[in-house]
Each structure stands twice: as C-alpha cells, then as structure tokens.
Amino acid sequence: MSRTITYSPAYTLVVTYECFNHCTYCNFRIAPGEDLWLSIPKAWEILQSLQGQNICEILIISGEIHPHSPKRKLWLQRIYDLCQLALSLGFLPHTNIGPLSLTEMETLKSVNVSMGLMLEQITPKLLETVHRRAPSKVPQLRLQQLEWTGELKIPFTTGLLLGIGENSNDWWETLGAITQIHQKWGHIQEVILQPHSLGYQQAFSTPSFDYSQLPEIILKARQILPNTVTIQIPPNLILDPSCLLDCLEAGAKDLGGISQKDEVNPSYPHTHSQGLVKLLQSQQWNLVPRLPVYPQYDHWLSFPLKQAVRNWRTQLKRNSLPSVTR
C-alpha cells in the first residue's frame, strides 16, 4: 500500500460572502446586499503577493446569488474574470460557488482546471430542518450538477457533510448516488468526508460531529466508491492527531487545499504545516503536493489550460515545490 498522502498548496479567494441561502450551520454567510464583492484590482494585489510562494491552486468560492437576481450575470462575469486573472499570473483556478446552469458551467470550464460542489446529503428530510431556508440545497438540483459536470467533462470534487441531521443510511445512499453518476461519466476526482464542526457564527445548536466515527465511515466509503475516486478529509477539522492517522489507515488519501485560512470554517485554522508533516512522518506517511486537476483528466482541458498544468507538472517533477508550504 502506498504511504503517500497528497494535498494542494492553495489560497482561497472569496468573491462575496453574500448568500441567498440561509443554512443554519453556516459560518460563512452574510445577508444579501451587506457584503462588498472582491474587486479585480484587489484580487490582482493579493495574487501578486502570492507569486513565488509555491501556491498552485487558487480556490475561488462565493456565497450564492439567486438564479433570477439581476446581479447574477455580473457575479458570473466577476468569477470568470478572477479565474482568468489567476491563470494570467500562473496559478490554477478551481471554482466552487454553488449550483450553476449548464451554460454557466460551460463558460467557467474554459478558465478552470477543475470545479467542485458539495452534495452534502441527498435525503430530502433536511429541507424541513437545516435546509428549510436554503432553496439550492434541494438534492435533485445538486445531483443534476454532478450529471452536467460529467457531461461537460469537468474534473470534479464533491463530498458529504456529516452531522447535520442525517443518519448512517443517508451516508451510504449519498455515496451510492455519487458512485452511480461517476460510473456514467468518470469525472469525479475526490469525495470529501467533512464533519460538521460547530463555529462561532452559526445558528445551528447541534454539537459538532463526533469525528472519532470517521475511520469507520471511511472504510465503508472505500467499499462503495470506485478505487479511482480519492477520499479527502480536512485535517483542521479532525482535532485528535491519532484519529487523523486512523483516517489515513482506513483509506483517506488526500488532505485537500491547505491554505492560510479556512474561509468556510474560520473557527478551525489549519494545522501548522511542519507539525502536520512531523505527525505523518511518525507513521511513515509522506505528504506531497498535487495540482487541483488529477493527471488522468489533463486531456479534457483546453490547450491554454493544458499549458498551465504542464508547467506546474514540470515543477513538481523537478521537486521545485517543497513537501509543505507556508
């Protein structure tokens, strides 16, 4: 068994915290109209400062603008322009901004090496509780996104949010749905298993998910998901180092984008990289950087995106990226 664990050296750009959904567990959202959008000049300033720091992925995230909002077209254009800016400065964009139309996804495909959307859970019962005021969390809407991204040949990341009112059968059904769609299109790179972690901003009173269950869940998930789909876990949300190691032994093989701040879970800063490496090395795990697109999907990319990816793969082969960043 390979003792290699991957991560993406990343930086997160937040387009806006404004969101028309109101999920009760969210630590990210600001009410519509109460947040300024990230400007292109500000983004240029941030990205310029990141050059030469061995950051390859620019994760572009956003609260959701209502599909029928008069601001929707401007919002999508801003995201497109941010992706194009990141590419022009040598970075690889990965966008995760909620459900999109087929046309919107096709537009963003040209400036993203990969994209993502958390499926969370497919049980409709959450629409009566934590998703009661979250129209875009309708399971069929999010499943449709997975279908469309497969149809468009977009390398994709999705995942489950654990501990928001679902049960274990819901986990297996959600993983089964992901498997079924991937078997049709072959486009899902990673599935994240993310424990709900109580933060300082949310209204949801249920305690954090007991992450000690994660190794057992990973074992079962590894049996359900195809071997070509990587299981990813967020190390900053697993506070017990021994549990993190148990998750890796159970079959998790990726730690996601490790950046200076977790924008979605700001109460949980990322572990200092050197401490993480030391922990992994204590059990003979080797932490190595990866790109936001896996090699088997490079041929799906447009020529300009292939060129950008090829440049980064050359750097990786030359070992010019260290095993950790920061």
User: Does residue 200 carry a pLDDT above 90?
Assistant: no
Q: What is the pLDDT of residue 321?
A: 46
The answer to whether residue 246 sits within a structural domain is yes
Report pLDDT digits (tens) over 31-43.
998 899 999 999 9
User: b/e map of 202-237 (b: 16 or more CB within 10 Å)?
Assistant: bebeeeebebeebbebbeebbebbeeebbbbbbbbb
The answer to whether residue 323 sits within a structural domain is no
Report the amino acid identity of residue 224.
I
The CA distances from residue 113 to 24, 116, 154, 185, 247, in Å, are 32, 11, 8, 17, 28
pLDDT range class, residue 318, cuts 50, 70, 90:
confident
Q: Which residues make Cβ contacts (< 8 Å) with residue 190, sequence separation at least 6? A: 157, 158, 159, 229, 230, 231, 232, 254, 256
User: Does residue 1 carry a pLDDT above 80?
Assistant: no
Please report which residue ranges of 38-128 form alpha helices under DSSP H: 40-50, 72-88, 102-109
User: Does residue 323 carry a pLDDT above 60?
Assistant: no
In this prediction, residues 50-61 reach a mean pLDDT of: 94
**Inter-residue contact 76 to 107 (CB < 8 Å):** yes
In this prediction, residues 114-139 reach a mean pLDDT of: 97
Question: Residue 172: is it exposed, middle or buried by C-beta count within 10 angstroms (0-12/13-18/19+)?
Answer: middle
The answer to whether residue 185 sits within a structural domain is yes
Least confident residue range of 93-107, 165-179, 185-199, 269-283: 269-283
CATH classification at residue 279: 3.20.20.70
In this prediction, residues 252-260 reach a mean pLDDT of: 89
Q: What is the pLDDT of residue 22?
A: 93
The CA distances from residue 320 to 30, 145, 275, 311, in Å, are 39, 36, 21, 12
The answer to whether residue 326 sits within a structural domain is no
Give how many domains the chain has, as a whole number: 1
The answer to whether residue 162 sits within a structural domain is yes
In this prediction, residues 299-303 reach a mean pLDDT of: 97
The answer to whether residue 277 sits within a structural domain is yes
User: Does residue 155 carry a pLDDT above 70?
Assistant: yes
Q: What is the pLDDT of residue 326?
A: 34
User: Does residue 204 carry a pLDDT above 80?
Assistant: no
What is the average pLDDT value for the chain, to the nearest integer? 93
* Residue range(s) defining the domain that contains residue 57: 4-317
What is d(CA 157, CA 192) in angstroms, rounded to the nearest whole number?
A: 8
The answer to whether residue 324 sits within a structural domain is no
In this prediction, residues 114-126 reach a mean pLDDT of: 98
Helix axes 273-281, 241-250, angle to 10 degrees: 60
